[in-house]
Chain A
Amino acid sequence: MVRFLKLYEKIGIFILIILGGVFLAFATPNFFKADTIFSIITQGTYGGIVAFGMVLAITSGGFDLSVDAVVALTSVMLAVTIPGLGVPSAIIVSILISCLVGFLNGVLITKFGVNPLITTLSMATIIRGVAFLITQGRQIPISQSGFMNIGTGKLWLIPYPIIIMAVLFIIFYLLLYQTSLGRYISAVGSNEGAAFISGLNVTFIKIMVYVLVAFTASIVGIIRTSQALIGIPSMAPGFTLTVLTITILGGTSLSGGKGNLIGAVFAGIFISMIYYGLNLLGVEYFYQMLAIGLVLIFALFIDGLRIRYLEVAKVKGIKV
């Protein structure tokens, strides 16, 4: 069992993707076209990008349930500020405001000691409410069509969202595995007390993590708003669940201290394949809800087994 779990940890997500690919290849006539494959990967980037942030959060021993609301807030902020500020400044302003939300999350969690679940859940409600208040519940169209390029443009054949994800992946990869901040994040997640005693500024590290999560969420908000060209206060309902599913399916353990960014990329693509397949079947959206929920439970099941068996193996002194 331990061997199986170690093997799954390494290649499980690839097997899932291959199985999904085989299924879709039979189910759809034009699956093996560049367009189809790129569109599946592009859909996968949304969850994947925010999963980078979530990987950091879970590695540090926390999590963030406010990402869907941050996506919506970014969308609304863009729609409101673009007419006055122009596209580049509007993007910077909305990213900064999202980071501020992340900062507030971090401060509430570290300085006031409020549980991350309660903090981010309350923050999600508040931010969603603010997004609705800003637009008075309406959707605001964006007239700058040049803005559309970010979400729909292509460099040669590759859509921009995929390039954005690749760039962010490199940044987060370097951050997590090559910088001291990355090691500190893992240290805080493995054993917060020990990290504190060895002189790490746990408060700063945790606040940083929540800022980064909000940052990734706001990038996804920009991409999706640019595709829709509308500021939508109700954007991305249930997105948080997708992101958490991707993160855990990608092999980031809920016990903290151990993040897996590459897994997150491929888990994002796998989830996107499921969406694509369900769309082909023409079922209604609540089947997607069900599917994501079931995949999450499956991923949790594997993670639970892993925690359990590796614990037993450690007690028995088996090397893994």
Chain B
Amino acid sequence: MDNDRNRRLKHRAGLIWGNFGLPFIFILVLVFFAIQSPMFVSWRNLLSTFGFSSYIAIAAIGMTFIIMTGNFDISIGSMLALVAVLGSSFIPAIGGVLGVLSTIVLATLLGLVNGLFVTKLRIPAFITTLGMLFIFRALAYIYTNNFPVYIQDKFWLYIGNGKLFGVLPLPIVITAVCYIAAYLVLRRSPLGRYIVATGTNPRAAELSGINVDNVKMLAFALGGFFVGIAAVINSANMGAANPGLLGQNYEFQVITAVVLGGTLLGGGNGSLGGSLVAAMIITFLGNGMGILQVGSYWQLVATGLVMIIAVALNKLKFYLLGQGEL
């Protein structure tokens, strides 16, 4: 009896943590920095930081899909740099709108290449994408000869810096649209159910007639697609596509966001909402540390620690829910 009660208590704690843990941490972070610095709570800073969080949040959608199907993509930082320099260099030839489109299409294709390697050759994802991380970055350097591509196109710049109704930064709107679309795909379409099934039990999914390889490949392609959108926004924010600076440590931030958001490494069900809140937590942490003038070396240490803590918290949640061991 006692054991049963214990288990139910644990389960409830797990549910509470799963539903309210992240927003609570987010509020904690906001309150902490608000006390430390009045500059942090200004509308201007909060709104622009929300805008910047799109950089991590959008790619976190694709990464959530990829991790749910049991893989990783650690090449996304270099992918972002490569497609940004390629797309922005096309602007003089094909114009801004097509430039943006080509950036997104290219990123989708690169994601698909990763997916092909992982599924058709059965090479573990981490090492394929580690190789691609270097290849994409090297190609970005070689293509531009290590010179940034300056972006003057109005449309491209508007996507990253424009404001809807003069107040709401456009990246926030784009992030919202992406999340709603992704939510519909994940929870209201067969594809979403295939993704969940593939992640939870690939063998069972295959036996019930799902083409597991295609689902995984599609997840990688979607990952690329969202990186493409983030590439346009990020390079527009910077005003230039710099082959060396764009997307440094990006894979790390995005994977941290997804894991902190409650998606289990190794596949299974995931949480898009969790990824979104976690992406904001990470962005606001970075912003706050910047305002408090924490040195970049400490920030490096902090990002690593946050990642490990995120994984530990995640394990704790699944343990409390009775779905895993500690």
Query: Using a CB–CB distance below 8 Å, which chain A residues touch chain B?
Result: 63, 65, 108, 112-115, 117-119, 121-126, 128-130, 132-133, 137, 238, 241, 244-245, 248, 254, 284, 286-287, 289-290, 292-294, 296-297, 300-301, 303-305, 307-308
Question: Quick one: given A119-B308, A129-B297, A307-B122, are A244 and B130 in contact (CB under 8 Å)?
Answer: yes
Q: Which one of B136-144, B194-202, B270-278 is at the interface?
A: B136-144
B135, CB-defined interface residue at 8 Å:
yes
Interchain CA distance A286-B299 in the complex, whole Å: 27
Interchain CA distance A65-B130 in the complex, whole Å: 10
B89, CB-defined interface residue at 8 Å:
no
Contact pick for B304, options A123, A132, A297, CB 8 Å: A123
- Inter-chain contacts of A304 with B (CB < 8 A): 117, 121-123
* Mask: chain B, 299-326; 1 = CB below 8 Å from A; 0 = not: 1111111011001100100000000011
Interchain CA distance A254-B303 in the complex, whole Å: 29
Sampled A-B contacts (20; CB under 8 Å): A113-B325, A113-B326, A115-B311, A121-B74, A121-B252, A124-B304, A125-B304, A130-B301, A132-B300, A133-B295, A238-B134, A241-B134, A284-B146, A286-B146, A290-B135, A300-B127, A300-B128, A301-B123, A303-B123, A304-B123
What's the least CB distance linking B325 to chain A, in Å? 7
What's the least CB distance linking B178 to chain A, in Å? 25
A125 touches B134 (CB 8 A): no
* Mask: chain B, 245-279; 1 = CB below 8 Å from A; 0 = not: 00001001001000100000110000000000000
What's the least CB distance linking B86 to chain A, in Å? 16
A289 touches B138 (CB 8 A): yes
Contact pick for A122, options B131, B142, B146, B307, CB 8 Å: B307
B76, CB-defined interface residue at 8 Å:
no
Nearest 9 interchain pairs by C-beta: A129-B300, A304-B121, A126-B304, A290-B138, A125-B304, A129-B301, A293-B135, A286-B141, A293-B134
Interface residue SS majority, chain A: helix
Number of interface residues, chain B, beta carbon within 8 A = 45
- Residue in chain B with minimal CB distance to A300: B123
Question: Quick one: given A114-B311, A118-B311, A297-B131, are A126 and B300 in contact (CB under 8 Å)?
Answer: yes
What's the least CB distance linking B147 to chain A, in Å? 12
What's the least CB distance linking B112 to chain A, in Å? 15
Contact pick for B134, options A137, A290, A307, A308, CB 8 Å: A290
Query: Using a CB–CB distance below 8 Å, which chain B residues touch chain A?
Result: 72, 74, 117, 121-124, 126-128, 130-135, 137-139, 141-142, 146, 249, 252, 255, 259, 265-266, 295, 297-305, 307-308, 311-312, 315, 325-326
- Inter-chain contacts of B300 with A (CB < 8 A): 125-126, 128-129, 132
Which of B127, B133, B137, B255 lies at the interface centre, i.e. has the most chain A CB atoms within 10 A of its CB?
A: B127
A118 touches B123 (CB 8 A): no
What's the least CB distance linking A258 to chain B, in Å? 15
Which of B132, B142, B300, B326 lies at the interface centre, i.e. has the most chain A CB atoms within 10 A of its CB?
A: B300
What's the least CB distance linking B191 to chain A, in Å? 26
Interchain CA distance A108-B131 in the complex, whole Å: 25
- Inter-chain contacts of B138 with A (CB < 8 A): 286-287, 289-290, 293
A300 touches B131 (CB 8 A): yes
- Inter-chain contacts of A305 with B (CB < 8 A): 121
- Inter-chain contacts of A241 with B (CB < 8 A): 130-131, 133-134
- Residue in chain A with minimal CB distance to B131: A296
Contact pick for B121, options A123, A133, A301, CB 8 Å: A301
A308 touches B121 (CB 8 A): yes
What's the least CB distance linking A184 to chain B, in Å? 23
What's the least CB distance linking B182 to chain A, in Å? 23
A289 touches B137 (CB 8 A): yes
A122 touches B304 (CB 8 A): yes
- Inter-chain contacts of B124 with A (CB < 8 A): 254
Question: Quick one: given A112-B315, A115-B265, A117-B72, are A292 and B134 in contact (CB under 8 Å)?
Answer: yes
- Inter-chain contacts of B131 with A (CB < 8 A): 241, 245, 293, 296-297, 300
